[in-house]
Structure 1
Amino acid sequence: MILHVANLDKFIPPFVKLINENFDGKKHLFCVLGNNKKYPIRQQNNLKISKPTLIGVVKHYARVFRDIQRAEKVILHGLFDIRLIILLSMMPWVLKKCYWIIWGGDLYFYQTPKPRKRDKIKEAFRSFVIKRLGYLVTYIPGDVALARKWYKAQGTYKECLMYLSNIVDDQLIKSTSQLNKSDSETIKIVIGNSADPSNNHIEILKKLAVYKNKNIRLIVPLSYGDKENAEKVISYGRQEFGDKFEPLTAFIPLSDYKGILKSIDIAMFNHKRQQAMGNTITLLGMGKVVFLRSDVTQWSLFRKLGVVVKDINEVDLFSRLEDDELARNIHIIKSYFNCKTLVMQYERIFSK
């Protein structure tokens, strides 16, 4: 039996569906903690959902404690939950059969300031567990290198795209065969993917200030994340760019959001760590010009794959990629970030 342990998030319902449609569901058990109303997931025989109530939490960890010892393999969907981490530290003998699907924030938590004693204690538990995990699952080798550097992780690297959010929509690629040549002379730029301060919006807006008198339109997704930061970004953006600054503050259905991404020319992600990969992959697959920081792990990944991305510290809106570069980007993204690759990677993880 392969045990999956997860907190319910937007990635989990489609993942459960993917596994049950492509593998023998009887060999998989999903132990999930979370609000089923926020992220609806169809009840199935191999799915155990616990509500985040006191009783629900107790039942969830009791089930995990029991089943994690019975399982042949354990798939840990992120390592954010300190209660799970403490539980794992109490069973060090199971860690060698654990596969840590690295989400990003669970790794980069290492960089978060820890002024309180209890934060340092939590980090000690995290270090103990991560060092001893048997397998590290991601498609970004740089994140594995950081896990080894920061936590002395010894696990074997397993390459995997992890979730369907990292799969580019083939229909979107087919509809962008003209490399998204815009009929408008306005340069449309999307900045960041949320209101979280990690987007470093104002830093990039300052870089773009030299273009404020040009024919540009700045589209800034701010519908979720830090509301206080969103207000700061909106205030600065409107003051500097006027009506050329367009914040997206209301929830947008995914299909509509992808329509917005399809209409833009340039994307700028100023995160100082691996983040917004679903958006980045989708945009590259659409043939868009993407700017990233050159010191983040996804920069190295794309360069290794042969995908051309631009350095956000060298912003030039009028220095575009050649058509053959955009076409090559589309081909590489389509060839690697697809469902067939994802299923094949999980076949390797489950069978060995």
Structure 2
Amino acid sequence: MRNLKHLHIVGNEMKFIKPFIQYVNSNFDAEEHFFLVLNSNKESSVEMAAYKNVKIAKPFDCKNSFLRKLMLVYKVPSSMVLLLWYFNKAKKIYLHGLFDKKVIIFLYVFKSFSNKVYWQMWGGGDLDIPTKAQSRTLWYRITKKVKGRFSGYVSYLPGDYKLAQELYGSKGEFFEALMYESNTFNEVELNKLNDGIVRIQVGNSADSANNHFEIFNKLEKFKDENIEIYCILSYGEKPWSPGWAQKVIKRGEDLFGHKFIPVIDFMSFEEYLGFLGKIDIAIFAHKRQQAMGNTISLLGLGKKVYLRSDVTSWELFKDIGVKVFDVNELSISTINSCDQQANIEMIKSNFSKEKYHQQLRDLFEGF
């Protein structure tokens, strides 16, 4: 293999990564970009087989937690060799999120590679404020050293970079980029449902970080109103919270009966935009920046969005003049037309596809 110009290290989040690979291959020189997919499964391998600039690391992940841990005996050393081979070849390396402990250990041992690494920060799970106990652990000290010495930090939230500086002492350059096309504004023709029902979306996935139960408790006082509550549970359940989707369904049905509607079938992007178009209110109670693609799409569609006021996404929207609402002050009234129209215009301006393309061009060509 000849020298690589751009090496992308990605996990198994095909929902974001596959469209990104397609976009890069269609809009930039595909021969200059190579994607190494770690922690994958057999289904993803089949899905990505058509791409010549993608390598799926083996062995595949196993759903059985015991076997998954057992496989680490092989996966850790083999991953080290694989990463060393590709990192040596690459001129510029992009980490699409940094959740993988194997990658963190590798960069701790081979710290000289850090000067060509650009960390695309994913927020929740990627930028976590440690508890006092966690901050004393050896693992946190290793993580802090690794995450603090990269050449570049990529995000569209300046607050995430500030957080990286505070947590890890990061001194590398900040690159503003929307990162994935799902974070851009999409024009959707809305079919208004004038039936008087207020449709509320709680969370964006089956990840327990959505804090579904907390929001259910806040919404319980409205259960006799003309509402429907939707939860997207078709993806995102984490190994450390198995069965979470079923728990959410049971709790939702117990509290709201037929007014609770779990979404358990995966939708295409176009289908999902159509679904969002019917939502009136969305509530995202993540304690870290997450669900930004959903949030941007909903705001661009003129929907009312609730967030925590202590997350970096809240800060971003306030800075650019987008009206969002505090989860601690929930109501089921919809957004007024003045705020709605102002939000749509600001989202169009700040999250356009043209801006996305130019930011990627600047990132890739900025040697």
Tell me which interval the TM-score lies in, with the shorter structure as reference length. Answer: 0.7 to 0.9
Kindly indicate whether residue 35 of structure 2 is the aligned counterpart of residue 30 of structure 1.
yes
Shift of 1:62: 2.7
1:95 alignment partner, one of 82, 96, 114: 114
Distance in structure 2 (CA, Å) of the matches to 1:65 and 1:351: 24
Contact 2:121/2:127 (8 A) holds in 1: no
Kindly provide the amino acid, as one letter, of the partner of residue 151 in structure 1.
Answer: Y
User: Is it true that 1:339 corresponds to 2:339 in the alignment?
Assistant: no
Work out whether 1:21 is the aligned partner of 2:38: no
In structure 1, stretches of 5+ residues that fail to align are none
Question: 1:229 corresponds to which residue?
Answer: 244
CA offsets, 1:127-167, max 9 Å, x none?
11111111110111111111111111222111011112212
Residue 102 (structure 1) shift: 0.7
Q: 2:102 maps to which residue?
A: 83
Aligned letter for 1:260?
Answer: F
- 1:51 counterpart residue number: 58
For 2:9, the equivalent position in structure 1 comes to 5
The AA in structure 1 aligned to 2:108 is S
TM-score by length of 1: 0.88
Matching residue's letter, 1:126: T
Count of residue pairs brought into register by the alignment: 343
Matched, 1:322 2:326: no
Residue 83 (structure 2) aligns with: 64
- Residues 279-330 of structure 1, C-alpha deviation per residue, up to 9 Å, x if partnerless? 1111111111111111111001111121111111111222x43323211211
The question of whether the paired residues in 1 share the 8 Å contact of 2:135 and 2:141 is answered with no
Q: Decide whether aligned partners of structure 1 residues 155 and 243 sit closer, same or farther in structure 2, where only a CA change above 3 A counts.
A: same
C-alpha distance in structure 2 between counterparts of 1:79 and 1:342, whole Å:
22
Q: Distance in 2 between matches of 1:3 and 1:279?
A: 27
In structure 2, distance between residues paired with 1:29 and 1:197: 33
CA distance in 1, matches of 2:135, 2:358: 44
Q: Secondary structure at the match of 1:3?
A: strand
Structure 1 pair 189–127 and aligned structure 2 pair: CA distance change class (3 A): same
Query: How much does 1:202 deviate?
Result: 2.0
The percentage of counterpart residues that share the same residue type is 40
The superposition leaves residues 200-241 of structure 1 with CA deviations (integer Å, 9 ceiling, x where unpaired) of 222222222222221111112223324543344333333332
Shift of 1:61: 4.0
Name the SS of the counterpart of 1:190 in structure 2.
Answer: strand
Give CA-to-partner distance per residue, 1:222-262, whole Å, 9 cap, x none.
23324543344333333332222222234444443332221
Residue of structure 2 equivalent to 1:278: 293
SS for the counterpart of 1:105 is: coil
Q: 1: distance between equivalents of 2:274 and 2:287?
A: 27
Q: Distance in 1 between matches of 2:275 and 2:133?
A: 38
Structure 1 pair 279/75, CA: closer, same or farther in 2 (3 Å)? same
Note the residue ranges of structure 2 that are not aligned, 5 or more in a row.
Answer: 61-70
Distance in 1, matches of 2:122 and 2:315, equals 17
Say what the alpha-carbon RMSD is for the aligned residues. Answer: 2.6
